[in-house]
Amino acid sequence: MDAALTKYEEILERTKAFYLTSSRIKLERDFYRLFAQFLLDLTRREGTAPLTPASAVELERWIKARLTDLTQYLHTQINGGSRANGTLRDAAELVTNGHLQATTEAAALAGVSYSANYDRIPERTLRLMIMRSQAEGLSESFRSLLPLRTRELAGDIDTFLVHMVATGESWQSSTTRLAKILSRDNASVLDALGQLGPRGGRLRRFLKAEPLPEVDLKQAKQLLHRSRRIVITETNQAYHTSDIVASAASPVVLFLVWTLSGRHAGLPSSPDVCDLIALHDAGYGPGHYPPEICPSLLHPYCLCTTRKVLRPASQWRLPKPPIARPQGLSRDAAETMLLGRAGDRVPTSAFVRAQWQRANRKIFASYTTYQELADVGS
């Protein structure tokens, strides 16, 4: 491969590495700090008198209000709200700058001049994410998941407080137990607590020492886990999707080749839909997709990435080949692929069906969305 193309790849790789080691780490840190502050505020009210039905109602109202605030804050943090500069946009801007720099430097090395239009990539990315998630019909996005979970959680907290009133627990003891359940020995959130001054440090030591209460709060225990999952997944999706949009705009990128993360094979859920997308030939070669119809990330925490197939400088001024409807994956082919990679862990037929259906949903949602956007001329 010539120097210009090597340079292009190098800059994209550096951009991704920066995102993973700096940008995303900051996002996670902010998220944990926010959650720790909520726990600290939860336990701030002093009180050794037993929790009464009336004070339980008051406490419950306070928790619900704070969780709504937390959800709203995360939503703004991610989507930007009226400020329109959330983490989704940050990720999209990072990718846009990467492609812009890669294009400029590759052109200089190749000694050619051509123009690429990377205008409004963050806006186009956000629109594509929304359109694709609607076309996929998979309700995993921040917009749908968190409000729903918060409602289920409310029932859990109600149950917990009724129990605390019945057993004569004080306000203080009830809130610290709840903090214990909500933090669930999570090292990251405990570390964040430790950084919130002496009171945070004290609560951290206390939560580490306190055993988990026996009351089982299914939703509450998972709140932190789920919120983090959504924050991370949505932002990764923004990174991936803006890379799709920028690659489509780039005269240099011909195909994206679906690439599993290094850790994928070792996961208990592997092989899964990621393997299917990486192996499937939609008409462009195994795992090869024109950027415009490259699927979105396949499941929460999906760490798949894409390798780029680049065009030589002599082709940069030529239009890219037209995009044909991708071929779907047959159930038999999906089964063969999964069995071929499963080793001793033979997947159930329900698992095979679910992964196969998800692969096709992702493939066709990308194409449908591409057509819709082509119709409106953007």
Nearer to Zn ion, 40 or 352 (CB): 352
Under a CB-based contact definition with an 8 Å cutoff, are residues 301 and 331 in contact?
Answer: no
Nearer to Zn ion, 271 or 326 (CB): 271
Of 226, 101, 202, 73, give the one whose Cα is nearest residue 153.
Answer: 226
190 binds Zn ion (CB under 5 A): no
Nearer to Zn ion, 93 or 140 (CB): 140
Nearer to Zn ion, 182 or 297 (CB): 297
DSSP calls for 295-347 = PPP-STT---EEEEEE--GGGTTSPPPPPPPPP---HHHHHHHHHHHHTT-PP
Q: State in angstroms the smallest separation of the CB of 279 from Zn ion.
A: 13
Site track 199-238 with Zn ion (rule: CB under 5 A), x = hit: ----------------------------------------
Q: Give strand pairing partners of 36.
A: none
Nearer to Zn ion, 53 or 340 (CB): 340
Q: State in angstroms the smallest separation of the CB of 360 from Zn ion.
A: 16
DSSP calls for 87-150 = HHHHHHHHHHHHHHHHHHHHHHHHT-------TTHHHHHHHHHHHHHHHHT---SHHHHHHHHH
Nearer to Zn ion, 70 or 304 (CB): 304
Helices then strands, counting H and E runs in the chain, come out as 13, 3
DSSP calls for 160-204 = HHHHHHHTT-BHHHHHHHHHHHHHTT-HHHHHHHHTSHHHHHHHH
Site track 301-330 with Zn ion (rule: CB under 5 A), x = hit: -x-x--------------------------
Of 302, 292, 254, 252, give the one whose Cα is nearest residue 98.
Answer: 252
Q: State in angstroms the smallest separation of the CB of 311 from Zn ion.
A: 26
Q: What is the CA radius of gyration of the chain?
A: 24
Nearer to Zn ion, 89 or 362 (CB): 362
In the window 261-280, what residues touch Zn ion (CB under 5 A)?
274
Under a CB-based contact definition with an 8 Å cutoff, are residues 279 and 337 in contact?
Answer: yes
Q: State in angstroms the smallest separation of the CB of 307 from Zn ion.
A: 14
Q: State in angstroms the smallest separation of the CB of 304 from Zn ion.
A: 3
Q: State in angstroms the smallest separation of the CB of 340 from Zn ion.
A: 17
Nearer to Zn ion, 181 or 274 (CB): 274
Q: What is the rounded distance in angstroms from the CA atom of residue 113 to the CA atom of residue 104?
A: 9
In total, the chain counts a number of residues equal to 378
Of 326, 327, 251, 316, give the one whose Cα is nearest residue 293.
Answer: 326
The token pair that represents 351 in the structure block: 């698992």
Q: State in angstroms the smallest separation of the CB of 242 from Zn ion.
A: 17
Nearer to Zn ion, 79 or 366 (CB): 366
The token pair that represents 299 in the structure block: 């499941």
Under a CB-based contact definition with an 8 Å cutoff, are residues 218 and 70 in contact?
Answer: no
Q: State in angstroms the smallest separation of the CB of 81 from Zn ion.
A: 29
In the window 282-301, what residues touch Zn ion (CB under 5 A)?
298
Q: How many residues bind Zn ion (CB under 5 A)?
A: 4
The token pair that represents 263 in the structure block: 């850790």
Q: State in angstroms the smallest separation of the CB of 365 from Zn ion.
A: 16
Binding site for Zn ion (CB under 5 A): 274, 298, 302, 304
